[in-house]
Structure 1
Amino acid sequence: MKSKFLPFILLLFAVQFWAQQPVTIQLTEKDGLPDIEFYDVLEDKNGFVWLAADKGLFRYDGKTFLNFSHPQKRGLSVFGLFEDAEGRIWCNTISGQFFYIKNGKMTLFTDLKDELKGQLPEFEVIQNQLIAFSEKGVFVIDVATKKQNVIKDTSSASPYYGYPFHYKNQLYFTFDNQIKIFENKKIKSVFTFSNKRIQTTNNAFCNLNNGIFFSSNFEGKQHFFIKNDTSNSFKECSVPKELVNKVIVNVIKSDDLLWFCTNQGVMVCTISGDKIAYKATYLKDEYITKIIKDKNNNYWFTSLRNGVFVMPNIYIQKEDFNGISNQIATLCNVESNYLVYGTTDGKIGFWDKKNNKWTQFSLDSNAKVAQILYNPTFKSIFISQDNQSYIWNLNRNEIHKVSFFVSSKSISISANNDLLNASYDRATVMKNPFETVKIGTGKLVIQIPRFVEKKGLEIKNDIRFKRAYASFYSSKYNANYVGFVDELMQFDTQNNSFTIRNNNKPILALDIQETSDGTIWVATFNDGIIGIQNQKVVAVLGTNNGLLSNQINKLKSSHNELWIATDKGVQCYNTKDKTFKNLTRNDGLESYTISDIEIIDNTIFLSSNKGIYSIDRAKGFKKLLQPSVYFTSVSIQEKDTILQLNYELDYDQNAIKFSFNTNGFQSNESIQYQYKMQGLNTNWLTLEKGNDFVRYSSLPAGNYTFSVKAINANGIASSPISTSIIVQAPFWQKWWFYFSVIAGVITLSWMYFKVRLQRIEKEKKIALEKAEMDKELVFSQLENLRSQMNPHFIFNALNSIQEYIVTNEKETASAFLVKFSRLIRIYLEHSRLSEVPLEEELKALQLYLELEKDRFEDTLQYSIHVAKDLDLKNSKVPSLFIQPYVENALKHGLLHKKENRILTVSFDLSATKEMLICAIEDNGIGRTASVQLNSSRSHSHKSFATTANQRRVELINKTKKNKTTVTIEDLQDVNMNALGTKVVIAMPLT
């Protein structure tokens, strides 16, 4: 296909002016902006941005908006921001109140509601005086004493004192039809406006460094005046037509431009001497109330209806296509006069730099324009779409449709003007499709390149059949470089190949460029940028040495500069001094999806999915000041504490969190922090961008110094700030605790051995006592045995046996003898034991009473009662213990009674089931009569019950928890006559 075009005249297409606008970021509710109606903006010396709004006063620290208020404040709105020499921020309200903020607190300075009557004055704080200008005069209030003076000029019947402007130690203001100076509490006139009264609104002063600019509106139009330092009067100058009917609210001079806040946007003008020329309008639909330029060269604009706008970089501008597609896929520089671009929807556009005009037209299909390449030798443009390709011969205004470089990934001009093409399935060298045609005769002969259709784009060599991404021809090395899907290769003109590797690893190239020092720079998919000379890797650029990201989108070289588009910003690398300069979103880049880079003279063009950006090559990189970091809070155990230089913490209060910040526009996105905790580590550690705190969950005991510093986008680091922390050791790690433990161990050891010795001594004593007791118990048992085998009992028993023998009662004698022998045997067996089962004791007691009954010749009636719940086999009693009490009942109570002798012995459990109760009851003569009878005998038998048995009770009780008790009760009738005796023995069960 062949078509005719007029590309440089572009008469066939709609031509429009190429509009450029600096990128402006609007702060919204999403950013935390608390209002949409703003009146003033101020940056203080610490980098905080203050905003006076309809809803109050706010301070912005780069992340959040903090509101300041006062309980006596009437209404929400504040105006007139001002910072005095002491760093106090002043503001006022329409109701006459003046406030200042100091140490994070809003203080009411004075209230002039009665004096001002609802008028909003303008003011400044100079030399410790608040000077307010109003219709009522100039109020001068001493800040220290609050003493108030009102100064008036009586030369006008209805004066208005307004628009104070401080310039070189003089305070200018407007008055009626004059500009005056307030100095030393006196007013003097400087300039008169031809008896034309100045309006009370729409006036503005501006500092020109070497003079004063003043704008005012009277006689129904705008007037501009300039006063040079060498002149004593204001000289009127012409007003650009674009500003004649605008309401000018404020004006500043910055970057050699005049910036006018108007009701229809920001008007920017150039100024040279007294010549003012219109340049551009920004934010044309906004009512702008104030402009400032902060320390990092960001422009802040407050508006009356749509909040706050920030222009990060006036030297980065976005090209306005007026509704035409912004999806730019590729760029191409044509003769340094035209910028040609292709879009994702099949359009080709041109920018005429000289005339600042652009046009755009569509190709045959709406497929993406993949690549555009210009060959200056033959003045031809090669265009590759995803489904078609073209060669545009600009000399003959012809465009030829071809099919040899469809869907190219990269196109380069190779040796002999051949075409090096990298595509989805191969890398190809195509023959030069042009020939030179002579036109004219004699001296008028000229040579014109002409596209030869028969020869056109003949395949010269398919150098590799596999997917290729990048291509580049180096005239220095006379070699082609191709980045394939799995390797980077260099080919000479004879198609000899060489594979280039980095540390024996393949290089996966995405783009290739060459700088003036002969270095071939290769952008990789995810390994940064690799520099190659003579087939060897000589440099590697990565995030460890300044690259914003190892993922590269595009490269472009110019002399010793390498322009780099990454997924985190755009950089310029100087190959001589090996330094980076960076551009990020904070500089106005709306997108990091950069598809191409082109350079025309001193302008860098970036294409993206958001459109085309232009960057002033010399001024595009802002000179950022050194950031200043400060602590915002310190929390201990998740509780905020007072900010201080030193912290001393207990061992169990060792969880600490440090939060910090750096003031500035969107500082959380542009600032990266490094920190270290001296005592834990000596190297600086880097936080991820956006993180602004460090937490230690459990600091061990010791002395530490925590330091943090901020690093901005250009790699400039702040001075570190530090705070010291002492974490006390737990008490068990302190010297006194060790001393106490050692002393305690020694003391405990001494006490242990002392107690042990005492216990041994006590055990010895107890053993001796026990031995003595056992000895006494044995003696007691022997005594019991002797009492039970006393001569009288034995003699009586033997006499009874003898009597039975004499009376020839052999069987009775034999039975008696058997019982007697059995009893003696039981006594002898029990004498070896300290305790016997109750069952055995009952047997012995039964035998004894049977023998005694025989001796009493059947005049004795006895009975033994045993409770049913008694365990006779497992319940034990002291051996030879109960029988003596029974014997006493017989011998002392019943023996002296002639008849009806009754003896009852009972065994039962106590109520607690812990004691055995043995009751021995007789109906004898009683203890009193028995004592009298025994005392009349000269050879009376000594009673065991009152001697040995009592001694044995005492011995038994020494070894028992529950004590044995013996109680004796005299039984008597109502007339106190003896009825017998009852002995109750309570013994613990064992």
Structure 2
Amino acid sequence: MLIVLSTKVLANIQTTENFSMVDGLPSNVVFDIFEDSRGLVWLATDAGLYEFTGEDIKFRKGLTKLQGERINSICEDPDGNLWFSSLGLGLSKFDGDRLSIIQFDSLKNEREIYYLQTIGSSNKLMLGTSDGLYEYNIDESSLTAKNTTYPKAIFKIRSANNQLITSSECQKENFIYHIKFGDYLKNDSEEIPIVSLGIQNDLDKLKKVLGGEKTFRLNLSKENSVIADVIEQEENAILSYYLLRYYENGVEKRKVLKLQDNSFVDFSAVNKLDNYFINTIFLRKGQNDLWFGTQNCGLVKVENSFFKYIQTGFNGFTNPESQDLVSDFYGNILVSNKNELIIVNDLQIKKRIVAKDFYAKCAGKVENLKDFSLYRLQIDKEGLVWVSSSKGFFTFNTSNYQLQFVGITPASEFIFTQDGEILSFWDNTLSFNKKDGKCEEKPSYSFEQSSTIEISKMRNQGDIIWIATRQKGILKFQENQFTIYNRNNSGFHNVINDLLIVDNSTLIVAGNNGLIYKLNITDTDLKVIDTIGNEDGVVGTAIQGFQLLDDNSLWCGTNTGVHRFDYNSWEQDSILQFRFWNLNDGYYDQNGERSIVDADQNIWVQTRSRLLKIDTKRFSDQDHLKTRIRLRTILVHNEEWMPKKEEVDQWTNTPIEPVAFKYFENDLTFNFGMDFCQNISNVRYRYLLEGYDKTWSDWTTDTKAMYSHLPGGDYVLRIEGRQLSDLEIIPFSFTIQMKIRWWKTWWFIILASLLLILLILLTGNTYVRIVRRKEKERTKQFNRVIALKMKSLQNQLDPHFIFNALNSIQSHILDENTENALDYLSDFSMVLRKNINNANKDFISLADEINYLQHYLKLEQMRFFDKFAYKINVDNSIKPHKYLLPPMLIQPFIENAIKYGLSGSKEKGQLTLSFEAESDGYLKCTIKDNGIGRQKSKGFHQDSNISNHHKTLQITRDRIKLLNKVLDNGRVYSYSIEDLFDDSEFPCGTKVEIGFPKASRVIVNNH
């Protein structure tokens, strides 16, 4: 008969972490741990009340009065106020800002309040005191005793089964007393339920006992049982913990039981907590780590891990130098060490085949067993386990535990082919063997003897065999031919730690460079399709232990932890979903090289020191860890920003949004972190300042967001955090208002625009005045120049007129016509006198001009012996004394009409001079004669006369041009000459029209 060694060795190993005075805790005595409705966690110590973030202790200024005092208990009323009980001070209320201490006349100062408990949603508190149980009405500020029949000290109050259960400090005759609604309950020994560790037959009844008001008998061992009761309970969706108290030899002790998978476990014994006196237990909402408040060691945290191990040492592995593992048809896990084979089933080690058992089977068949070593395991098609060794092959039957020596060849690595042959590796050579000897039909492959080749993995793909090495890359055997792929021809590294066949066209490989390669298989090539690296979630460099499960999750281990990737999300340029666990999550052995998947999709990993089981279903069913990101501090120019009291939340001390900064406070550093993060080393953050950044930052462990020279505007700081062991991304947002520099504000821009417009207007107005002044000066000077020019022209006209007049007088004297000569001389002197008077005038009145023309025409009549008659017509609307016009401007046209028109006519001539005014004051002068016309007059005069005529007209034109330059009323001086014809188209005279602008609007300078 075979003797089966059956020892239960599979355990859920959990790490214990202390947080004590060395870590900043003000005292190692923690009486209570409380999480309020805001998610803030508070510690009641014998040195005061403090906020706890999971990593740091925070002291509130509003709680200064409680600093150094012993705080026994904490609770919260429906309005969100916190209530504390403290030694000597009694009851205190904290609203997040101000602390109020409440005194009771009915309680003596020496009576202590041990515990506080709210009553449902009412504004009432239950007070467990050294003098019994009391009810405090918050609204009425009244205190009422509730247990007058049993006035004993009450140190714990809890809710169970919709009722309040209190626990006293009294022990009598091995019984523990409870108080329920003011009456104490005593359990008779016959009625006390019994609780034994392990799977219970009546679980529902036992849970009622643990959650109810009854005490029970706890079997600590076969020989030892004690009376115990539950004083605290903590639970979530998958875990339940109970804090028990019991007495041994009159000494109170505490113990924690854990209920999971319908089994009660001595949690204190498993995690070596029996030496702690536990005051309170605390399981934060949405998390699995259990915290203890102890009497002498501060806070203790036990991390709940889903990784399970077979322990080493006694009844474990005797040799830590592991080699391989397989899973057989019967659900056994077989593990090989260098000198033994271990069979594990149903969480137990069922059988060990040690070195001497192997020696006995091959004794006499091989020489020198001193260097004997076991290597790899494989299961053939019949379910027989093959074990390779340095002396040959062994077979092992897991149904009857029979061990046989087969021999064939030594092999450090081997694999069965599709035909049932063995491809083995030994002494740098790959060779094929049949189960009964060497296979001559297939070739062998030898590596260079100068280097020792290590094969990391051999896998089948139908008739193809893939071989991963740690020196030469990957070998493929197909159609009796070996082909090697590595850095030289395929783009991946020569060091390959593991190889996984996904399908007929895809391989997954990895080495020591932190990259996971996806390779495409063709008939002749092995090409890299894509890679996963650090930016995709790979943590660590040495990658091995690939497993692809039925849910398409890709698992692997690195030198820092274990990864789970969603293989379906692995596409080029896609975001790969992944999870990661490391040492702080309970993954203690990062040196596992070999792994397998059992029939239940559990992954088994063989490390160098133990066997690890990963319950992959437990990972996929795990609740999201409830935590949050909190803004710790804000630095402005590297100095902590100190907001006003009204600018921060009174509970969390975080700024109330939006936070406004002055325009010069534009160098900002935001420090943030996660509260109660189960594994801070496994947290990654990224951030984006909306309105400033274009893209998110990279995922990093850095907990700072820094911005320099931030321009004015409204921003939203968005932070995302995630624990790599959890897929959920935790969001956080924070609104910031950066004041715009005052010269960039809208009101300043409008004001500046108005001032600019006003400045432009003032500048324009000033400029216009300056221009006008300069123009006035310029015009004044220009008028003087024009006047000089005009006087020069007039001077040119005066000699011409005088010459003609003297000629006329001479003619009368030669004709001895003395009377006419004297009359002519009298008129001539009058005309000359007027010429002299008008010489220094730019303008004269129309009356003076008409008077002058009358004397002139009379002289011309006498000169031409009354050959023509003249007539001057003035419109009745014209007032001659109010119209001004330049002198000597009409006379040249009259002179030309007489000399070239009327003088050549055979008939007596007629000259008409008319003055008319338009509505705007424009004066028209019309000179009309009935002479011979301009064309005919050309033949009666010599060239010199024509030249003088042209000169006269040119001088007149120049005068008119100069006069028009100084006008500003829109009308100009003008003249026109028109030839007149009779009905037979025969010339019958000439008409001249001269226009004069209103003289009152002409700039003049009369002297």
For the aligned pair, the TM-score class normalised by the smaller chain equals 0.5 to 0.7
Offset at 1:210? 8.4
Question: In 1, Cα distance between the equivalents of 2:301 and 2:493?
Answer: 42
Aligned to 1:474: 460
Structure with a larger share of its residues in helix? 2
* Comparing 113-122 and 645-654, the one that deviates more: 113-122
Aligned to 1:171: 164
What TM-score, normalized to structure 1?
Answer: 0.59
Offset at 1:140? 1.9
C-alpha change, 1:524 and 1:362, in structure 2 (3 Å) is: same
Question: In 2, Cα distance between the equivalents of 1:669 and 1:159?
Answer: 48
Offset at 1:655? 0.8
Aligned to 1:315: 306
What TM-score, normalized to structure 2?
Answer: 0.58
The answer to whether 1:139 aligns with 2:125 is no
For residue 393 of structure 1, the aligned residue among 388, 392, 395 is 395
For residue 110 of structure 2, the aligned residue among 106, 111, 117 is 117
Offset at 1:696? 1.2
Offset at 1:565? 0.7
C-alpha change, 1:167 and 1:250, in structure 2 (3 Å) is: closer
Aligned residue type for 1:584: N
Aligned to 2:258: 268
Offset at 1:476? 3.8
For residue 705 of structure 1, the aligned residue among 702, 716, 727 is 716
How do residues 260-409 of structure 1 correspond to structure 2 at under 5 angstroms?
A: 260-261=243-244, 263=253, 266-268=256-258, 281-284=269-272, 285-287=274-276, 288-294=278-284, 295-322=286-313, 329-335=322-328, 337-341=331-335, 346=338, 348=340, 350=342, 352-354=344-346, 356-357=348-349, 371-376=375-380, 377=382, 379-382=384-387, 388=390, 391-395=393-397, 396-398=402-404, 404-406=410-412
How do residues 823-972 of structure 1 correspond to structure 2 at under 5 angstroms?
A: none
Any conservation in 2 of the 1:63–1:666 contact (CA below 8 Å)? no
C-alpha change, 1:286 and 1:610, in structure 2 (3 Å) is: farther
Any conservation in 2 of the 1:488–1:499 contact (CA below 8 Å)? yes
Aligned to 2:544: 553
For residue 510 of structure 2, the aligned residue among 503, 520, 523 is 523
Any conservation in 2 of the 1:378–1:393 contact (CA below 8 Å)? no
C-alpha change, 1:234 and 1:251, in structure 2 (3 Å) is: closer
Aligned length: 688
Offset at 1:552? 1.7
Offset at 1:492? 1.0
Partner of 1:641: helix, strand, or coil? coil
Aligned to 2:226: 245
Aligned to 2:612: 613
Offset at 1:92? 2.5
Any conservation in 1 of the 2:718–2:732 contact (CA below 8 Å)? yes
Question: In 2, Cα distance between the equivalents of 1:78 and 1:369?
Answer: 63
C-alpha change, 1:334 and 1:317, in structure 2 (3 Å) is: closer
Identity of aligned residues (%): 15
Any conservation in 1 of the 2:339–2:374 contact (CA below 8 Å)? no
Question: In 2, Cα distance between the equivalents of 1:33 and 1:485?
Answer: 52
Offset at 1:330? 4.2
For residue 512 of structure 1, the aligned residue among 490, 499, 508 is 499
Aligned residue type for 2:378: Y
Aligned residue type for 2:126: I
For residue 57 of structure 2, the aligned residue among 53, 56, 65 is 65
C-alpha change, 1:639 and 1:751, in structure 2 (3 Å) is: farther
Offset at 1:729? 2.9
For residue 462 of structure 1, the aligned residue among 445, 454, 474 is 445
Any conservation in 1 of the 2:49–2:67 contact (CA below 8 Å)? no
Offset at 1:511? 0.3
Partner of 1:117: helix, strand, or coil? coil
The answer to whether 1:152 aligns with 2:147 is yes
Aligned to 1:24: 15
C-alpha change, 1:329 and 1:626, in structure 2 (3 Å) is: same
* Comparing 141-150 and 358-367, the one that deviates more: 358-367
The answer to whether 1:664 aligns with 2:676 is yes
Any conservation in 1 of the 2:718–2:734 contact (CA below 8 Å)? yes
Any conservation in 1 of the 2:666–2:738 contact (CA below 8 Å)? no
Partner of 1:506: helix, strand, or coil? coil
Offset at 1:278? 6.9
Offset at 1:675? 1.0
Offset at 1:606? 3.3
The answer to whether 1:595 aligns with 2:589 is no
Offset at 1:624? 1.6
Aligned residue type for 1:379: L
Question: In 2, Cα distance between the equivalents of 1:495 and 1:250?
Answer: 73
Question: In 1, Cα distance between the equivalents of 2:636 and 2:693?
Answer: 21
Aligned residue type for 1:429: S
C-alpha change, 1:417 and 1:42, in structure 2 (3 Å) is: farther
For residue 736 of structure 2, the aligned residue among 718, 724, 730 is 724
The answer for unaligned runs of 5 or more in structure 2 is 171-175, 193-201, 246-252, 357-367, 571-576, 644-654, 771-1007
Partner of 2:617: helix, strand, or coil? coil
For residue 485 of structure 1, the aligned residue among 468, 471, 487 is 471
Question: In 1, Cα distance between the equivalents of 2:371 and 2:25?
Answer: 42
Offset at 1:213? 5.2
C-alpha change, 1:569 and 1:314, in structure 2 (3 Å) is: closer
C-alpha change, 1:144 and 1:379, in structure 2 (3 Å) is: same
Aligned to 1:41: 33
* Comparing 505-514 and 463-472, the one that deviates more: 463-472
Question: In 1, Cα distance between the equivalents of 2:19 and 2:103?
Answer: 34
Partner of 1:485: helix, strand, or coil? coil
Any conservation in 1 of the 2:257–2:264 contact (CA below 8 Å)? no
Question: In 2, Cα distance between the equivalents of 1:477 and 1:103?
Answer: 73
How do residues 70-81 of structure 1 correspond to structure 2 at under 5 angstroms?
A: 70-73=63-66, 75-81=68-74
Offset at 1:664? 1.8
Question: In 1, Cα distance between the equivalents of 2:606 and 2:257?
Answer: 28
Aligned to 2:940: none
Aligned residue type for 2:396: L
Q: What is the alpha-carbon root mean square deviation over aligned residues?
A: 4.9
